């Protein structure tokens, strides 16, 4: 499980130069559960989202103060759809939960992950479906209100894994990253606009 202080977005640039990524081929299932605090002793989080890949595989954590029975149901069993957009050193994972759910997205940069959690997915069989572990956390109480494991389509899995590995093996310049991300936000300031240039889209558990 990622260290709780990394949520929802903590930047850990490593300027020592490229390093070989740690490969993960058998992710573990996260150990935190519904009804428990995401981090013991912490009951408030900034609203937003966090995505990462590490020893527990793919994880998407959503932080909101607007916890409703409908949202909980959408996270637990609603229709899901995902998109992947790559803009230079930054990728965006788009997500929608529920038939009428709004699109959201979250940026990911491999080099800005905490060094202890910096990993890349190992090569897998063509039919492999990655599991994305989704958690809904109350921004006002710090509790996990819903969880779900979503199987990603093989083609989407390959695209996502290739994007992460490409980041991991590429040289990293913090300034280039900031400029690229600023340009994305300027040209496509909301999640739906960013989704328009997605290189891959897929329904969850399809």
In a domain, 82, yes or no: yes
41 is in which domain, residue-wise? Answer: 34-197
Residues 153, 206 contacting (CB under 8 angstroms): yes
Inside any domain, residue 3: no
pTM for this predicted structure: 0.85
How wide is the angle at C-alpha 1 spanned by C-alphas 90 and 58, nearest 5°? 40
Residue 6 belongs to some domain of the structure: no
Return the pLDDT at 15.
40
Per the domain annotation, does 110 fall within a domain? yes
- Whether 134 is covered by a domain: the verdict is yes
Those residues of the chain that have pLDDT short of 70 are 1-31
The per-residue pLDDT for 123 is 87
177: part of which helix (H) or strand (E)? helix 174-187
C-beta of residue 56 within 8 angstroms of C-beta of residue 2: yes
pLDDT at 99: 92
Task: Tell me the sheet residues that pair with 82.
Answer: 95, 202
Q: Which residue(s) pair with 74 in the sheet?
A: none
> What are the residues whose beta carbons fall under 8 Å from the beta carbon of 37, sequence distance 6 or more?
43, 142, 143, 144
Closest by CA to 95, choosing from 71, 113, 117, 115, is 71
Q: What are phi and psi of 159, to 5 degrees?
A: -65, -45
The 10s digit of each residue's pLDDT in 114-146 is 888 889 998 889 999 999 999 999 999 999 999
Strands 22-24, 119-121: pairing is: parallel
Does residue 91 fall inside a structural domain?
Answer: yes
């Amino acid at each position: 499980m990622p260290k709780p202080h990394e949520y929802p977005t903590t930047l850990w640039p490593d300027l020592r130069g490229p390093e070989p990524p740690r490969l993960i081929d058998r992710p573990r299932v996260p150990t935190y559960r519904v009804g428990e605090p995401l981090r013991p002793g912490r009951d408030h989080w900034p609203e937003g989202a966090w995505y990462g890949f590490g020893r527990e595989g793919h994880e998407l954590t959503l932080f909101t103060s607007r916890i409703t029975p409908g949202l909980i149901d959408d996270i637990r069993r609603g229709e899901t759809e995902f998109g992947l957009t790559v803009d230079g050193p930054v990728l965006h994972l788009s997500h929608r939960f529920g038939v009428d759910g709004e699109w959201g997205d979250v940026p990911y940069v491999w080099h800005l992950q905490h060094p202890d959690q910096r990993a890349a997915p190992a090569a897998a069989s063509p039919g492999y479906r990655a599991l994305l572990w989704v958690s809904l956390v109350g921004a006002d109480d710090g509790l996990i209100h819903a969880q779900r494991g979503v199987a990603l389509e093989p083609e989407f899995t390959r695209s996502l894994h290739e994007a992460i590995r490409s980041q991991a093996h590429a040289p990293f310049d913090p300034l280039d990253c900031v400029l690229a991300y600023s340009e994305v936000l300027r040209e496509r300031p909301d999640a739906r606009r960013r989704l328009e240039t997605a290189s891959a889209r897929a329904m969850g558990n399809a």
